[in-house]
């Protein structure tokens, strides 16, 4: 019996990477998914990455690892570029002859219109978004490779603080009052649906650019209210506010994504957050 081909999943200590690895037996039974955390492989040690790739010979890379918190990227743009662009470029070059899936973000858009499809022009407003745009260009230069732009993902992460739901819950447990915009919109999605969609793209050898997000456009305030209703015993302190009161680096107002292209090739409907929470009352979220 032949061995299954090896798939590397970087960022396995994060939310989406963990779901990809854990769901592989169900959604990708023909692959041997190896999750890579920073402790297992330092992606900034480029020589080590090259040696490990030559030794292990993965037949697929799904690249989730990133410096993903926008304030951290703003504070250290050099490190953000090294992690999000340079490390990605090294992996993409190693994977030049095999499938490579790269996770990008809805934040590559300036948020002026919303409902962005894959043909929409990008206009990043933050260092984080700028690094994602730069990495996208590297990946899409190879017709074997795939870029997936996603939105807020929720679920249970190994560290308990990567999903948007976990961040809201943690803040509430700490007694913090959460100030949430009623006029900033995203399309949140449970990470389990993201993982299933990615494995289906891999199975279909789909390449190019895809948008992957929830089917429901929600404000930050609406998202938090939905999550708070899930565990009312915490009595979260939520305060509705407007972007007009915000002082800080530019933030896009509406990065909702049009996912029709991806939806047309999936075997299941991408869920909206409200419907998914209703349909999965016992799922820890």
pTM, two decimals, is 0.94
- pLDDT over threshold 90, residue 265: yes
Per-residue pLDDT, averaged over 95-110, amounts to 98
Per residue in 50-78, pLDDT tens? 999 999 999 999 999 999 888 899 999 99
Per-residue pLDDT, averaged over 208-232, amounts to 91
Provide the pLDDT confidence category of residue 45 given band limits of 50, 70 and 90: very high
Q: What is the CA radius of gyration of the chain?
A: 18
Q: What is the model's pLDDT at position 93?
A: 98
Strand 218-219 versus strand 185-186 pairing type: antiparallel
Residue 150 main-chain phi, psi, to 5 deg: -125, 175
User: Distances from the Cα of 91 to the Cαs of 52, 103, 221, in angstroms?
Assistant: 11, 13, 38
Q: What is the model's pLDDT at position 101?
A: 98
Per residue in 3-28, pLDDT tens? 899 999 999 999 999 999 999 999 99
What's the chain's average pLDDT? Answer: 93
- Architecture per CATH, domain 6-159+189-216+257-271, reads as 3-Layer(aba) Sandwich (3.40)
How far is residue 106's CA from residue 129's CA, in Å, rounded to a whole number?
9
- As a dihedral over the C-alpha atoms of residue 172, residue 174, residue 177, residue 181, rounded to 10 degrees, the angle is -60
Tokens coding 198: 């990615």
Q: What is the model's pLDDT at position 1?
A: 43
How far is residue 44's CA from residue 50's CA, in Å, rounded to a whole number?
11
Per-residue pLDDT, averaged over 267-275, amounts to 96
Q: What is the model's pLDDT at position 199?
A: 98
Per-residue pLDDT, averaged over 121-143, amounts to 97
Per residue in 144-158, pLDDT tens? 999 999 999 988 888
- As a dihedral over the C-alpha atoms of residue 253, residue 171, residue 104, residue 34, rounded to 10 degrees, the angle is -170
Name which of 18-22, 219-223, 231-235 the model is least confident about. 231-235
How far is residue 183's CA from residue 222's CA, in Å, rounded to a whole number?
10
How far is residue 62's CA from residue 138's CA, in Å, rounded to a whole number?
15
Q: How many CB atoms lie within 10 A of CB 252?
A: 22
- pLDDT over threshold 70, residue 114: yes
Nearest to 273 by CA among 161, 151, 147: 151
């Amino acid at each position: 019996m032949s061995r299954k081909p090896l798939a590397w999943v970087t960022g396995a200590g994060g939310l989406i990477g963990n779901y990809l690895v854990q769901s592989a037996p169900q959604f990708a039974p023909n692959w041997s998914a190896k999750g890579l955390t920073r402790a297992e492989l330092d992606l900034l040690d480029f020589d080590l990455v090259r040696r490990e790739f030559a030794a292990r010979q993965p037949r697929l890379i799904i690249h989730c690892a990133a410096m993903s918190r926008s304030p951290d990227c703003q504070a250290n743009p050099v490190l953000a570029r090294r992690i999000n662009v340079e490390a990605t470029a090294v992996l993409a070059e190693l994977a030049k002859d095999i499938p490579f899936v790269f996770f990008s973000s809805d934040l590559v858009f300036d948020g002026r219109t919303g409902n962005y499809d894959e043909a929409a022009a990008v206009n990043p407003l933050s260092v984080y978004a700028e690094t994602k745009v730069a990495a996208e260009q590297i990946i899409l230069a190879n017709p074997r490779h795939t870029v997936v732009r996603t939105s807020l993902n929720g679920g249970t992460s190994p560290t308990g603080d990567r999903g948007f739901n976990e961040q809201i819950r943690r803040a509430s447990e700490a007694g913090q009052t959460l100030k949430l915009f009623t006029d900033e919109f995203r399309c949140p999605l449970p990470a389990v649906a993201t993982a299933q969609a990615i494995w289906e793209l891999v199975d279909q050898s789909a390449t190019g650019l895809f948008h992957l997000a929830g089917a429901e456009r929600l404000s930050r305030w609406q998202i938090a209210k939905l999550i708070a209703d899930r565990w009312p015993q915490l009595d979260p302190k939520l305060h509705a506010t407007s972007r007009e009161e915000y002082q800080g680096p530019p933030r896009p107002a509406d990065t909702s994504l049009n996912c029709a292209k991806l939806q047309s090739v999936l075997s299941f409907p991408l869920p909206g957050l409200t419907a998914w929470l209703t349909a999965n009352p016992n799922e820890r979220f």
